[in-house]
């Protein structure tokens, strides 16, 4: 299975009455299908998965499967706090035709969670899952960093094929690559360090930014693949500033606003997430305008 | 409404097949009913609420209402990540006869959550809730501290009657008491600082430890009420060490083990929470043995 | 030795040309001598000790000894990063007639400093010191918290008589008091939790705030001593807000400004510490005005 | 001035009686002179600068100047907590013939230090310094991260020529390079991310590891320069694991032990730094043995 290249962490559009807008979700996928994105992540952190009901989450998985073009790898976010619920969600994603499950660390009972907790949790999930597992460490949201010894140990499980590391810590990429087997896939979750991550043997990335600027992220990946490091360095700097303004400072609301500006179905996030403030809107608009003229709003 | 005194954060017992054991849950309440506990918190962090399905959570609310003796105040944990889901859970708890809703801070999208986020979230919940709201700040699990200016601002809402602060920071108790109106109820979530919190104008506490040592926690509260500060100081030291061994170091698994030792229905936590290691068991047993002889196992 | 009561952490006044103003330093002491302060701390964090040359530090120790009234206990801050230098400074303070040395934790090489490091450091200093040692844990500046097992172990050394804990964590006071011998003296460094600390068996406090509001801090201590807990609670709230505005938000510059307002020799701090911004000045002035009319400037 | 390539952060050897061993220090330099190291950093964090007396520090600066081969760039660590003392040390280093001053952030009064503090501090130092200034951000020791807006603002000062960033955060390298002028030199302080830092436009590195493995670090730099990214990736992984074992886990004591194994004058660190534990020694020896046979001890 070729888990490499650029995957957008898909956003969840809502209708004006607050319900999930599956038609808008599919409309975005229809446009992404025309790019060289490697596939899609449904129900990631960027998809507001923790703000969705179980039924809404399921409907998005179904819609994602329906709308994705053949050849696009489908990754479902299935991590829940409980091991049993994570297994249930993972099996459901597999049944719906997803290729890979992205499983974030449990994180609520931090003081009680030790290395052993994560080893047992992930092994239980991987043992039960019909599809391969990607570990997912996203300390900015969870407060939990999956540490290198655990990653290296879990890499030995035949059904754990890689990790999405959203810490931005390139040293972790280097050290995991040095210690895990060669087929273990490291994906970065930080657009601001995509090029250095690739240079350090990451295979690709799952990026919020790729929901707004998919072709720009793909182009950086391809510059790396063709060994054009100087051009890649420049493009990386450009994307890092864009990612900072749109994703780091704007959050999901900022990302959706940037999507609106580029003709995708962005819209507002769900409460308690607030809309982007006007000052941030202006900054995001200025950043987005530096890229090619926005596609006409669908 | 008299939200003062000691409230145990109730644990959730499981059957051997992993399902919630409502009969064991009720058996615990039957014993707690005979103490001077002021009431109960159902679906708190200690209740493994984030590991339960919606149906399980609902069944515990129903069972709690059925089993609680008249006069015991009933508090339901209803905080979810989304504002709408929090409101729905709060209304359900009210419909089931709960007196107060305990609403923890949303916490997943930390970088995007600002003071304004919490003000709007809590006001929306309080506006919609048929029952009074207790704010709930529990940084050890959520990574989020509800800060003093927000607490003081929210204290002005007529349907927000207090806060459970599990940070253990007594300075926050002092400063909130200095700035909020006199009826705003501060409850500590830390057994290790119960006496200093009360001295600083807290009205009581919601304590995991009170599920294992209810009468000991109540006695400390009553020593304070009767002005016996020297005896309270000694008892506080005793409870602080017990709380550290049982709750801080043992976690929910340790608390349940201590409950087992004292004749309650403790049992094992749900995965990914692991059972207590044997070394910790010995330490917890030693700590528990310093209190009166354990009641015979029911 | 009676290390109890309220000790101000003395500030260091400078002349307009930037040199240390020993006359102003002594003038402050002359006024403090008339209060019921238990003694003085020279060269604490509040004294800008890390911004002073060795000669300046020595001159302040000499001046402090000269200016302090008989019966005022003299505590010298002598902690340096190196063990040898700490010992040298401690011996010098003893030779100058200081009663106690206050020794902050080494902190620069944090990743290398383990419990063993602190045990060996403090034991070496205590073994060599002609005067008793107070441990000093001040994580807000050092990033290092002296943990309870180390404190309890070090309390067994005959020449280590107590600790100044500036963390504000009352649970640590409770737990240390529960485990160390009865004569081990815990002093808090946080004016915002003075009363709860005393209730939890602290013997007193070393406070920056006491350089600006000495009699107010002493009065709170005496309210506690005489068992007037309700009055103490109110006074505590008042001092907590004052401490927050003057010390926590104002820093040393804010404290010196408050001293100026109350007729002491405050002045400006040394660079890189900046003067208080005007907005903060107004807030500090408003806070100070709530206490009795400021003494006429000497 | 060509501030690029690899610079070891030199260690400070001690005699058995605890005094600084200038002859050993010079002996190390004599061997380093034969490598393609770009120059030397004297009195960095690795040099135990915070554990040295003023006289010792001065003697090391003198010895470094005497022992360094022509063409080796000389960088002196001159950062002190006070602005005035930093300026004095910087002038002294310039007078002794040092080419560049490396100025770490003040860090003790963290709560009081704002962006403005650092802007004013560094501008005052740069204005007064006869030699160019390198900013130095080393959060692992200081708890302070020099943030990107401040770095970019300070880069405009004609006498501030670059930064040593020891955070290991490659995104900061990318963002600073994107926003500062082209001549602003970014040096990483983390051997574990040397290659990704260079790929992201860092000009070189100041490395503790280069005191034990100078030629290995230089070779990685040269692999990058000649565009051999695959070989660089492999070497980077090797060095990352070595750096982790020797520097991150071993600290200065571990680094000195590795130096001993490779025939340099390492020795023991000064207290409170403790010698390496035996278990760590074995691990370090195993790591060092993976590189070429150690040079015979001089």
pLDDT (0 to 100) of residue D1: 78
List all residues of chain A from 34 to 93 with a beta carbon under 8 Å from chain B.
45, 50-54, 81-85
Q: What is the 3-state secondary structure (H, E, C) of chain B?
A: CCCCEEEEECCCCECCCCCECHHHHHHHHHHHCCCCCCEEEECCHHHCHHHCCHHHHHHHHHHHHHHCCCCCEEEEECCCCCHHHHHHHHHHHHHCCCCEEEEECCCCCHHHCCHHHHHHHHHHHHHHCCCCEEEEECHHHHCCCCCHHHHHHHCCCCCEEEEEECCCCHHHHHHHHHHCCCCCEEEECCHHHHHHHHHCCCCEEEECHHHCCHHHHHHHHHHHHCCCHHHHHHHHHHHHHHHHHHHHCCHHHHHHHHHHHCCCCCCCCCCCCCCCCHHHHHHHHHHHHCCCCCCCCC
* Touch test D–C: 3 Cβ pairs or more under 8 Å: yes
Tokens 């007196």 -> residue:
B99
Asked whether the beta carbons of B107 and B74 are under 8 A apart, the reply is no
DSSP 8-class letter at C297: P
Task: Report the predicted TM-score, pTM, of the whole model to 2 decimal places.
Answer: 0.96
Asked whether the beta carbons of D204 and D5 are under 8 A apart, the reply is yes
Give residue B268's Cα distance to chain centre: 19
The confidence band for B293, taking pLDDT boundaries of 50, 70 and 90, is low
Chain C residue closest in CA terms to D53: C85
| Number of Cα atoms under 13 Å in the Cβ half of residue B244 | 17
pLDDT (0 to 100) of residue C298: 38
DSSP string, D154-212: HTTSTTEEEEEE-S--HHHHHHHHHHS-TTPEEEE--GGGHHHHHHTT--EEEESGGGT
Selecting among D164, D216, D256, D280, the annotated active-site residue is D164
Comparing CA positions, the residue from B100, B9, B103, B27 lying closest to residue B63 is B27
Per-residue pLDDT reduced to its tens digit, D183-202:
999 999 999 999 999 999 99
Comparing CA positions, the residue from B134, B190, B18, D68 lying closest to residue C170 is B190
> Given CA atoms A12, A16, A21, A24 in this order, what sign does their dihedral have?
negative
Does C272 sit behind a cis peptide bond, omega within 30 degrees of 0 on the bond before it? yes
Q: Is A205 strand, coil or helix? A: strand
Residues 6+ apart with CB under 8 A from B32: B8, B40, B214
Separation of alpha carbons A135 and A101, rounded Å: 9
* Touch test B–C: 3 Cβ pairs or more under 8 Å: yes
Give the mean model confidence (pLDDT) for residues C53-77: 98
DSSP string, C50-78: GGS-HHHHHHHHHHHHHHSPTT-EEEEE-
Q: What percent of chain D has pLDDT over 70?
A: 98
Separation of alpha carbons C3 and C39, rounded Å: 9
Separation of alpha carbons B288 and B117, rounded Å: 42
Q: Which residues of B touch A109 (CB under 8 A)?
A: 45, 141, 251-252, 273
Does B16 sit behind a cis peptide bond, omega within 30 degrees of 0 on the bond before it? no
Side-by-side strand order, sheet with A160-165: A5-8, A204-207, A185-188, A160-165, A133-137, A100-104, A73-77, A39-42
Chain B residue closest in CA terms to A276: B112
D31 vs B199, C145, D13, D25, D214, CA distance in Å? 66, 41, 15, 10, 10
Q: Output the six-digit token pair for C161.
A: 């008589």
Per-residue pLDDT reduced to its tens digit, C143-158:
999 999 999 999 999 9
- Partners of chain A (3+ Cβ pairs below 8 A): B, D
Rounded to 10 deg, the angle between the C83-95 and C115-128 helix axes is 30
pLDDT at residue B255 tops 90: yes
Residues 6+ apart with CB under 8 A from D228: none
Chain B contact present for C196, CB below 8 A: yes
Count contacts between A and D (CB, < 8 Å): 85
Per-residue pLDDT reduced to its tens digit, B164-201:
999 999 999 999 999 999 999 999 999 999 999 999 99
* Touch test B–A: 3 Cβ pairs or more under 8 Å: yes
Q: Which residues of A touch D170 (CB under 8 A)?
A: 168, 170, 193, 196
Give the mean model confidence (pLDDT) for residues B107-126: 98
Per-residue pLDDT reduced to its tens digit, C18-55:
999 999 999 999 999 999 999 999 999 999 999 999 99
What are phi and psi for residue C160, nearest 5 degrees?
-110, 110
DSSP string, chain D: ----EEEEB----B-TTSSB-HHHHHHHHHHHTTS---EEEESSGGGTGGGS-HHHHHHHHHHHHHHSPTT-EEEEE---SSHHHHHHHHHHHHHTT-SEEEEEPP-TTGGG--HHHHHHHHHHHHHH-SS-EEEEE-HHHHS----HHHHHHHTTSTTEEEEEE-S--HHHHHHHHHHS-TTPEEEE--GGGHHHHHHTT--EEEESGGGTSHHHHHHHHHHHHTT-HHHHHHHHHHHHHHHIIIIITTHHHHHHHHHHHTTS---PPPTTSPPPPHHHHHHHHHHHHTSSPPPPP-
Q: Which residues of B touch C181 (CB under 8 A)?
A: none
Instruction: Give the one of D178, D190, D229 whose C-beta lies nearest to A240's C-beta.
Output: D178
Asked whether the beta carbons of B189 and B182 are under 8 A apart, the reply is no
User: Which residues of C participate in catalysis according to the annotation?
Assistant: 164
Give the mean model confidence (pLDDT) for residues A149-158: 98
Give the mean model confidence (pLDDT) for residues D14-27: 97
Chain C contact present for B227, CB below 8 A: yes
Give the mean model confidence (pLDDT) for residues C276-287: 96
DSSP 8-class letter at A143: S
CB atoms closer than 10 angstroms to residue C197? 29
Mutation site for B-interface testing, chosen from A118, A272, A274, A275 by largest number of B Cβ within 10 Å? A272
Query: For residue C85, what is the enclosing H or E element?
Result: helix C83-95
Separation of alpha carbons B18 and C137, rounded Å: 46
pLDDT at residue B27 tops 60: yes
Length of chain B counted residue by residue? 298
DSSP 8-class letter at A144: -
The confidence band for B292, taking pLDDT boundaries of 50, 70 and 90, is confident
Comparing CA positions, the residue from C160, C116, C226 lying closest to residue C1 is C160
Q: Which residues of B touch A51 (CB under 8 A)?
A: 81-82, 85
Instruction: Give the one of D179, D196, D241 whose C-beta lies nearest to A200's C-beta.
Output: D196
User: Which residues of A participate in catalysis according to the annotation?
Assistant: 164
Q: Is C24 strand, coil or helix? A: helix
Q: Which residues of B touch A251 (CB under 8 A)?
A: 109, 111-112
DSSP string, C140-187: HHHS----HHHHHHHTTSTTEEEEEE-S--HHHHHHHHHHS-TTPEEE
Separation of alpha carbons D11 and D63, rounded Å: 13
ipTM: 0.95
Interchain proximity A252–B109, CB inside 8 Å: yes
Give the mean model confidence (pLDDT) for residues D159-181: 97
Between β-strands B5-8 and B39-42, what pairing exists: parallel, antiparallel or unpaired? Answer: unpaired
Chain D contact present for A225, CB below 8 A: no
* Touch test B–D: 3 Cβ pairs or more under 8 Å: no
Interchain proximity C124–D271, CB inside 8 Å: yes
Chain A contact present for D254, CB below 8 A: no
Per-residue pLDDT reduced to its tens digit, D259-289:
999 999 999 999 999 999 999 999 999 999 9
Chain B contact present for C167, CB below 8 A: no
Q: Which residues of A touch D241 (CB under 8 A)?
A: 175, 178-179
Between β-strands D73-77 and D100-104, what pairing exists: parallel, antiparallel or unpaired? Answer: parallel
Q: What is the dihedral of CA D151, D156, D159, D161, to 10 degrees?
A: 50
Asked whether the beta carbons of A169 and D197 are under 8 A apart, the reply is no
Tokens 């704007």 -> residue:
A250
Chain A contact present for B111, CB below 8 A: yes
Q: Where are the beta strands (DSSP E) in chain A?
A: 5-8, 39-42, 73-77, 100-104, 133-137, 160-165, 185-188, 204-207
pLDDT (0 to 100) of residue A1: 78
Interchain proximity A84–B141, CB inside 8 Å: no
Give residue A156's Cα distance to chain centre: 23
Per-residue pLDDT reduced to its tens digit, D115-138:
999 999 999 999 999 999 999 999
Asked whether the beta carbons of C210 and C6 are under 8 A apart, the reply is yes
Separation of alpha carbons C171 and D134, rounded Å: 43
pLDDT at residue B163 tops 60: yes
Chain B contact present for A290, CB below 8 A: no
Q: Which residues of B touch A143 (CB under 8 A)?
A: 110, 143
Asked whether the beta carbons of C191 and C239 are under 8 A apart, the reply is yes
Interchain proximity A272–B120, CB inside 8 Å: yes
Separation of alpha carbons B258 and B94, rounded Å: 32
Residues 6+ apart with CB under 8 A from D30: D67
pLDDT (0 to 100) of residue C111: 97
Per-residue pLDDT reduced to its tens digit, C157-177:
999 999 999 999 999 999 999
pLDDT at residue A295 tops 90: no
Give residue D248's Cα distance to chain centre: 14
Separation of alpha carbons C44 and C60, rounded Å: 11
Chain D contact present for C145, CB below 8 A: no
Between β-strands B5-8 and B204-207, what pairing exists: parallel, antiparallel or unpaired? Answer: parallel
Chain C contact present for B169, CB below 8 A: yes
Q: Which residues of C touch B236 (CB under 8 A)?
A: 174, 200
């Amino acid at each position: 299975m070729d888990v490499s290249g650029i995957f957008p962490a898909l956003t969840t559009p809502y209708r004006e009455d607050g319900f999930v807008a599956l038609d808008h979700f599919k409309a975005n996928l229809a446009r992404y299908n025309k790019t060289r994105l490697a596939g899609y992540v449904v129900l990631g952190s960027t998809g507001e998965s923790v703000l969705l009901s179980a039924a809404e989450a399921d409907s998005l998985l179904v819609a994602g499967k329906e709308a994705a073009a053949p050849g696009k790898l489908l990754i479902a976010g299935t991590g829940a706090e409980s091991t049993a619920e994570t297994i249930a969600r993972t099996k459901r994603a597999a049944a719906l035709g997803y290729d890979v499950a992205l499983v974030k660390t449990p994180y609520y009972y931090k003081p009680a969670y030790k290395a052993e907790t994560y080893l047992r949790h992930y092994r239980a999930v991987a043992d039960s899952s019909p599809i391969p597992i990607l570990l997912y460490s996203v300390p900015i949201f969870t407060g939990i960093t999956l540490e290198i010894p655990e990653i290296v140990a879990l890499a030995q499980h035949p059904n754990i094929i890689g990790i999405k590391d959203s810490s931005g810590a390139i040293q972790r990429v280097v050290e995991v690559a040095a210690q895990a087997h060669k087929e273990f896939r490291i994906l970065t979750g930080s657009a601001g360090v995509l090029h250095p991550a690739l240079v350090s043997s990451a295979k690709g990335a799952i990026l919020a930014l790729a929901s707004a600027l998919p072709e720009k992220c793909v182009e950086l990946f391809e510059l790396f693949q063709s060994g054009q490091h100087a051009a890649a360095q420049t493009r990386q700097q450009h994307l890092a500033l864009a990612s900072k303004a749109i994703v780091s400072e704007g959050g999901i609301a900022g990302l959706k606003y940037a999507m609106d500006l580029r003709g995708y179905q962005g819209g507002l996030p769900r409460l308690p997430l607030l809309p982007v403030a006007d000052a941030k809107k202006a900054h995001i608009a200025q950043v987005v305008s530096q890229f090619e003229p926005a596609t006409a709003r669908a």
